[in-house]
Amino acid sequence: MSITDFNHLRAREWGMAALVLLFSFLLVFGSRTWRLESGSAISPEADTVLLIHETIGLEELVELMDAHGFRFNPDELRWASGILGWRRFNQGRYVFREPVGYPDFFSKLALGLQDPMLLRIPPGATKEALKERIAVQMQFETYELAAAMRDTSLLNRYGIEAHQLYGRILPDSYEVFWTSTPQRLLERLLSEFDSRVAEPYAGRMEELGRTVDEITTLASIIEWEARFDDEKPAISGLYWNRLNRRWRLQADPTVNYAKGERSRLVFADYRIDHPYNTYRIHGLPPGPITNPSLASIRSALFPEDHNYMYMVATPDGRHAFSRTYAEHRRKSREWTDWLREQRRIRVEMEREDALREEAGGSGQ
């Protein structure tokens, strides 16, 4: 073989090698480019909620995704992050329901394009329970919400005092962002109250000669007392009858509030010296004892027209109403007899259970 032929052979070999390398490069580059533009590079579990508590980097994101069950290629994710230039990811609540590509995934987290959530506020909660119930759904802590509820700049803006704010937190589901501050959330809740209660019912309150906060205070007592919405107007009518006759309100829920717990009351409880105990004070207590529902507020505004002055609980969770004290005492005895019978049955069942356990133990 001549030198010329040898050189031609080597040139062909180098050419083939170059073609192979070029083909391999194009194959890898094309594959990576296709993956980069693919809309299914990252696959979440169904309705995966990704909570980022503070701004994080790529490696922290990889760990978080792995912990939440995302299916993805970590090395490819790192490569895509470098190509696209997204390396820092903002705090927020992000929901992923279907496969997503790298550009959409990274930009959503890096730009903080979080998804709203439904904040659920229950009716009839104690002050502490309400704060905890709200905070556990949000990014902020309970103590931060408590501080915001005492913020005089916020309270002055709405012309209320701290103890009145409680009655203006309407139970409902609110679409909010998880990262909302306590102040911003309270502004939203107070605005909702104004638009749904204070403004539309201003005329009715003027007609009754009562302020917004007097109505929410009465509504809060109705909320605590009534288990069923259809009974609330009747309970409201009874309380209004007592107020109009300048009787003491004598509402058991206010005693529970003064006592600091929801439990069966005994005679000594009614003598607790407390500004909210309506067995000792005249008129309404200084503020709401719970956060009333819209149904309770409407019942306070539009009470049932009747002559009832007394009520007592019944076994089905409702109330028996009376016009006279004599009638009330008779119905109260029926309730007391039922409670006594329930205690007797419970004691008897406990005794039988103890005997069975004793017999089972002696037989071993």
- Give per-residue pLDDT as tens, 76-131: 999 999 999 999 999 999 999 999 999 999 999 999 999 999 999 999 999 999 99
Cα 21 to the chain's mean position, in Å?
60
Cα 360 to the chain's mean position, in Å?
47
Residues 364 and 268 in one domain: no
Whether residue 1 is predicted with pLDDT greater than 70 in this model: the reply is no
Whether residue 63 is predicted with pLDDT greater than 90 in this model: the reply is yes
pLDDT confidence of residue 235: 97
pLDDT confidence of residue 23: 44
In a domain, 153, yes or no: yes
Instruction: Collapse the DSSP code of 317 into the 3-class scheme (helix H, G, I; strand E, B; otherwise coil) and give the result.
Output: coil
How far the first Cα of the chain sits from its last, in Å, is 103
Residue 220 lies in domain: 210-323
Residues 104 and 55 in one domain: yes
In a domain, 8, yes or no: no
CB 189 within 8 A of CB 180: no
Quote the DSSP letter at residue 278: T
In a domain, 30, yes or no: no
**Residues in a beta bridge with 172:** 121
**Residue 333 burial by Cβ neighbours in a 10 Å radius (0-12, 13-18, 19+):** exposed
Whether residue 331 is predicted with pLDDT greater than 90 in this model: the reply is no
Question: In the chain, pLDDT over 90 holds for what percent of residues?
Answer: 74
Among the three residues 200, 233, 254, which one is the final residue of a domain in this structure?
Answer: 200
Q: How many domains does the chain have?
A: 4
Residues 235 and 300 in one domain: yes
In a domain, 43, yes or no: no
Residues 309 and 223 in one domain: yes
Whether residue 21 is predicted with pLDDT greater than 70 in this model: the reply is no
Give the length of the chain: 364
Residue of 150, 133, 215 whose CA lies nearest to 186: 150
The distance between the two most distant Cα atoms of the chain, rounded to a whole number of Å, is 132
Residues 249 and 313 in one domain: yes
pTM, whole model, 2 decimals? 0.81
pLDDT confidence of residue 332: 79
CA pair distance 309, 329, nearest whole angstrom:
12
Please name the residue that has the structure tokens 């609110």.
Answer: 174
In a domain, 133, yes or no: yes
pLDDT confidence of residue 88: 96
Torsion of CA 162, 166, 170, 171, to 10 degrees: 150
Phi, psi of 171 (to 5 degrees): -65, 130
Residues 169 and 236 in one domain: no
Residues 360 and 276 in one domain: no
pLDDT confidence of residue 24: 44
Q: What is the CB-side half-sphere exposure of residue 181 using CA atoms within 13 A?
A: 7
Torsion of CA 235, 237, 239, 243, to 10 degrees: 180
Residues 121 and 105 in one domain: no
Question: In the chain, pLDDT over 70 holds for what percent of residues?
Answer: 87
Residues 92 and 153 in one domain: no
